[in-house]
Amino acid sequence: MDSSPRSSITGKVKRTPWWMKSLTGWSYVIFEMLFQKMQARHLKNPLPLPPLHDVTCIVTGSTSGIGLETARQLAVSGAHVVMAVRNQSAAHDLIMKWQDERHGTSLLSVEVMELNLLSLASVVRFARAWNLRSKPLQVLINNAGIFSMGEPQKFSEDGYETHLQVNFLAPALLSVLLLPSIIKGSPSRIINVNSILHYMGFVDTDDMNFTSGKEKFNSAKAYSSSKLAQVMFNSVLQKRLPPEAGTSVLCVSPGTVHTNVARDLPKLVQAAYNLIPLFLFSAQEGSRSALYAATAPEIPEYCKALKADEWPTCAYISHDCRPTRAAIEAHNTRAANEVWEKTLDMIGLPLDAVEKMIQGEEVMCKYRDS
């Protein structure tokens, strides 16, 4: 299915002007913010979870906000949780705090591993270290992300725009490199914390770094486009995984959440942001969609049904833990395949990386340690 409008002369996808996409995207945010609590009133907070004693979960960005709540609740429910973070000291402090709050009851099964998404070599090291354990991984939650609103353009040590790398490229590399462990953990799940702002994103595979001059950079463009690319890439990943792999691939929207993202906003916007707490989700409320995607027993069958129906995108779960439709741009299968191929090139993997890993073959990444 490819429902994107095309020029009869060039055959290229017609792109909606940025100002129109921006207006539409921010209107979605305002609507979501005003009505999200009403839409999610059927959900309990915290979300009740089943016992998870035989489940291993990796959660990136788990020292603050949604990731912190996600990791804590999974651990309290009995899962073995791996906090994949830059700040290992902060993670260890949190584990001690969570344990103290249990007042001497059973110990939580939580460990900390270093992961810096601004370094693709760090992603390779992390995945290699985990895969060498030869242990199954049931749940990968790509939660970490940045939105440096109003900030000038910045680049990672790998030369990629920081929103693109942290929100999309590094999680994509992590998901692919961990496939041997994820398939071993079947039935397993790859969950990507996305955003309603992906509706105003666009992806130009010739200029994903915003360096050609075709599009003037701003952080909202970079953030929303990285989130749209995430949906498109994972939609192809879901199709590439055979049924026998037993892996469900999903994107989830947490809602409009009161988290540390405000630290990156302009002072005036921070002030407004702090004036509307009654409408915003707490981090605990924002974690519900990821937790639902990670634990709900109906998720594998839902993902399987979408794939059987040849639905063009991976499953997308909204802030109210109900299935929803991803942005129309994500339904363009030709563009999604272009994003897939470009992404594998950018993260240093061969085009047949997934197929080789499914067959148990070793795949080399150009960002491996020398």
Question: Among all residues, which ones are annotated catalytic?
Answer: 223
Residue whose token pair is 């705090």? 97
Phi, psi (deg, nearest 5) at residue 272: -65, -40
Under 8 Å CB-to-CB from 20, ≥6 apart: which residues? none
Distances (CA, A) of 133 to 184, 343, 347, 364, 365: 12, 27, 24, 18, 19
Three state DSSP letters for the chain: CCCCCECCCCCCECCCCHHHHHHHHHHHHHHHHHHHHHHCCCCCCCCCCCCCCCCEEEEECCCCHHHHHHHHHHHHCCCEEEEEECCHHHHHHHHHHHHHCCCCCCCCCEEEEECCCCCHHHHHHHHHHHHCCCCCCCEEEECCCCCCCCCCCCECCCCCEHHHHHHHHHHHHHHHHCHHHHHHCCCEEEEEECCHHHHHCCCCCCCCCCCCCCCCCCHHHHHHHHHHHHHHHHHHHHHHCCHHHCEEEEEECCCCECCHHHHHCCHHHHHHHHCCCCCCECHHHHCHHHHHHHHCCCHHHHHHHHHHCCCCCCEEECCCCCECCCCHHHHCHHHHHHHHHHHHHHCCCCCCHHHHHHCCCCCCCCCCCC
**310 backbone φψ class: left, alpha, beta (φ>0; ψ -120 to 50):** left
